[in-house]
Amino acid sequence: MCCCWEIKRELAKSSLSDSENGHWYRCHGLLVWSAFAIPQMLAAASPGAADIRIETGREAARTVAQARAQPAAGPGVVWPVPRGGLCFCVADVGDFWIADGHTIHITPHSGVDVPTLALYTMGSALGLALLFQDTLVLHCASLAIGEGSILVLGASGAGKSTLAQHLSMNGCKALGDDTCVLWRVADASAPVIYPSGTAFKLWRNALDAVGIDPAGFQSVGQRMDKYFVANASAADDRPHTVSRIVVLEKSDGNNCPPALEPLDKLDAMQAVTEHVYRPQFVGALGLWEGQFSQISKLVAGTEVVRLTRPWGHEFMPEVVDLLQAG
């Protein structure tokens, strides 16, 4: 049985509810209305016409069932919807139907907790909605440094959030974790990004390494020893020009000091393409040609470097010093 109403009862306890029994946020430069609380988004100062609405109900479950029954849907993780949009299902979390770039429908599954539901909403669902708006969405952490911003790319588990947390604790302004949306600005040489959240997601061992007690932080989701850690220093909610992209790579051994290596444009293009967020969504929407075009323009006007560093939290101060000096 769907637990939509259980979630609604839990959310009704929140102090962020507005007249629609929902919540207003700023995320990626957009005004977002959500039927349930997503504390990791920036609370909106004042409600208005939402750029994106996140609705709960049975509509997403019906849409997923109909889409999966279509022969053309195939065995993939995302299915086209005859009446428009794409849908997907996450076991024990929920059914998601992204109708367009402005509406996300969710049917929560029985037993899902709100943090887990919020995790997939901020990630896959919102990322897909933003692809409908012809943006470039990357899997990375992001921080404001000086007048520009830095994107930290790497495979899952590469330490993007951990490095971003260390940089944030050393004076850099945190912009976001996990996803980054690049907006094109007319006559600008580089795209801009906006803050997307208030926390990084860190495993317990990463918290132990920086002396943070996880007891005071919310777990990312069910059965995960990972926590939302409030940014030490958050960036202003304004456009930030992308000035540098750092691609993380582990060195062969701990005897090698961390090093930065500039990438030529071809290698930079490949590195960024490898970290497009949810490539299966890009393919389902037929957007790869446009994505390649945006990536090409991004690397043409942005410094892209490979950061090779030893694996271990004890080396983080040296890595931070190298990045801030460079």
Per-residue pLDDT tens for 135-186? 999 999 999 988 889 999 988 777 888 888 888 888 889 999 889 999 987 7
79-80 and 86-90 strand pairing: antiparallel
Split at pLDDT 50, 70, 90, the class of 205 is: confident
Which pLDDT does position 10 carry in this prediction?
Answer: 44
Residue of 271 and 11 predicted with greater confidence:
271
Phi-psi region of 84 (alpha: psi -120 to 50; beta: other; left: phi over 0): left
246 strand-pairing partners? 152, 305
Mean pLDDT of the region 295-321: 88
Residue percentage of the chain with pLDDT more than 90: 51
How much is the mean pLDDT over the chain?
A: 85
- Of 129, 104, 122, which Cα lies nearest the Cα of 39? 122
Residue 183 DSSP label: B
Read off the pLDDT of residues 38-72 as tens digits, 9 standing for 90 and up.
Answer: 988 988 877 778 999 999 999 999 999 998 887 66
Report field, pTM of the whole predicted structure over 0.95: no
| pLDDT of amino acid 302 | 93
Q: Which amino acid is present at 230?
A: A
- DSSP letter assigned to residue 258: P
Backbone angles phi, psi at 225, to 5 degrees: -90, 55
pLDDT at 178: 86
What is the per-residue pLDDT for 150? Answer: 94
Domains of the chain and CATH, by start? 4-131 (no CATH), 136-325 (3.40.50.300)
Q: Which residue has the higher pLDDT, 316 or 291?
A: 291
Q: What is the mean pLDDT of residues 281-287?
A: 92
